[in-house]
């Protein structure tokens, strides 16, 4: 899901960067008000964990393709939307700058997709599902899957708007792959959340909000 340089149009790159800057300014404002210093090392550990997990591409059986975790749904479950944008932005930025994974001119768009839209989609799922009796494991699986498919949908719209390929082809192809990759996201998110809960890796608010 890391978009390289040279594909999207300058207008889309600029729009993505502008939206990301606005949202991240709001994230910083939120954390100035609400982020306890005691939570910072916990979030730092999760950022490091998500970086590590993203390195492990899993094969898609029967296809010469792979997928890997985004981690937006995982972090959003534990910390809520605003803190998650900071975690994911740190990861995505380091990947672009240090490891050349995701283009530097596309950083704004990649942040928008993986650090903002993915956790936003997951957060909406949590808000919808938390009122039902669906078990946490199922809820985080759904949130993981939805976050990946929604992000793929937006990535397709960015391709269409950049006149790279038609909207229809981009949507069809990207969403098809990510419907499968999203299963991996859901399974990994569902597997990690219980361990994170056992380590008390959530901010009090988030847990209360969800149960």
Q: Which helix (H) or strand (E) holds 58?
A: strand 58-59
Coil/strand/helix, residue 189: helix
Closest among 67, 156, 74 to 113, alpha carbons compared: 156
CB of 131 to other proteins, least distance (A): 30
66 φ, ψ to 5°?
Answer: -140, 175
Question: Site for other proteins (CB under 8 A): which residue of 9, 15, 19, 68?
Answer: 68
Question: Site for other proteins (CB under 8 A): which residue of 7, 136, 161, 210?
Answer: 7
Interacting residues with other proteins between 10 and 39 (CB under 8 A): 27-28, 31-37, 39
Nearer to other proteins, 75 or 129 (CB): 75
Structure tokens at 47: 């950022």
Question: Site for other proteins (CB under 8 A): which residue of 14, 65, 134, 205?
Answer: 65
161 binds other proteins (CB under 8 A): no
Strands (E), 66-207: 66-67
170 binds other proteins (CB under 8 A): yes
Applying CB under 8 A, the span of 50-58, 71-79, 122-130, 133-141 interacting with other proteins comes to: 50-58
Question: Site for other proteins (CB under 8 A): which residue of 14, 18, 21, 40?
Answer: 40
Cα separation, 199 vs 180, in Å, equals 30
Cα separation, 110 vs 8, in Å, equals 11
124 binds other proteins (CB under 8 A): no
């Amino acid at each position: 899901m890391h978009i390289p340089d040279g594909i999207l149009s300058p207008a889309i790159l600029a729009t993505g960067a502008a939206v990301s800057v606005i949202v991240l300014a709001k994230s910083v404002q939120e954390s100035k008000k609400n982020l306890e210093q005691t939570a910072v090392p916990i979030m730092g550990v999760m950022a490091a964990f998500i970086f590590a997990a993203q390195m492990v591409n899993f094969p898609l059986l029967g296809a010469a393709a792979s997928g890997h975790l985004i981690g937006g749904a995982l972090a959003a479950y534990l910390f809520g939307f605003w803190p998650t944008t900071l975690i994911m932005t740190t990861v995505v930025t380091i990947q672009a700058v240090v490891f050349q994974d995701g283009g530097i001119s596309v950083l704004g768009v990649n942040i928008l997709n993986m650090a903002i839209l993915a956790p936003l989609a997951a957060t909406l799922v949590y808000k919808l599902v938390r009122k039902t009796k669906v078990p946490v494991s199922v809820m985080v699986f759904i949130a993981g899957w939805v976050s990946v498919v929604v992000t793929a949908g937006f990535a397709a719209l960015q391709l269409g708007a950049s006149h790279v390929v038609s909207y229809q082809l981009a949507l069809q192809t990207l969403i098809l792959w990510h419907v499968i990759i999203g299963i991996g996201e859901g399974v990994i998110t569902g597997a990690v959340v219980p361990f994170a809960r056992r380590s008390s890796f959530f901010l009090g608010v988030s847990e209360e909000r969800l149960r």
